[in-house]
Structure 1
């Protein structure tokens, strides 16, 4: 028996729990620091929000993009004529 009253079996079980907790912590840190997979996930999320269920672009976003393009062209033409 050890000096703190723990049996070897209790110490081994405690070490096993600590190893498991450490492994979970390392996995969580790895996931947070894996920039490439986080970027892929964010891109997939944005693509999902920008497309309909069948994968085609959402009409309201197409209309917004077309309006933005028209405004940019109009601004360029207006600035050149000034």
Structure 2
């Protein structure tokens, strides 16, 4: 059964394997520790929120650019034929909302 190793080599191999096993167990202990799990979950949520916020920013930026391109000519001058109807509609919405809220207060 001798593989040509001396007892000192065998003992050194056992010591090395014990150290490797201890390091592996320490790593497993860190991975399953509740704080490590909570930190990982927090980081995952943070990444998901950052991705969502980034996508929302891009979508809003695109929408604003689309609206701006509809209301401003290529040379930067306002397109009054488009701005006036939008402004009138906005004022009408504000008036309707304010009337509704004043009616609710009276009741």
Aligning the two structures, in what range does the TM-score lie when normalised by the shorter sequence? 0.3 to 0.5
Larger radius of gyration: 2
Greater helix share, 1 or 2?
2
TM-score, normalised on structure 1? 0.47
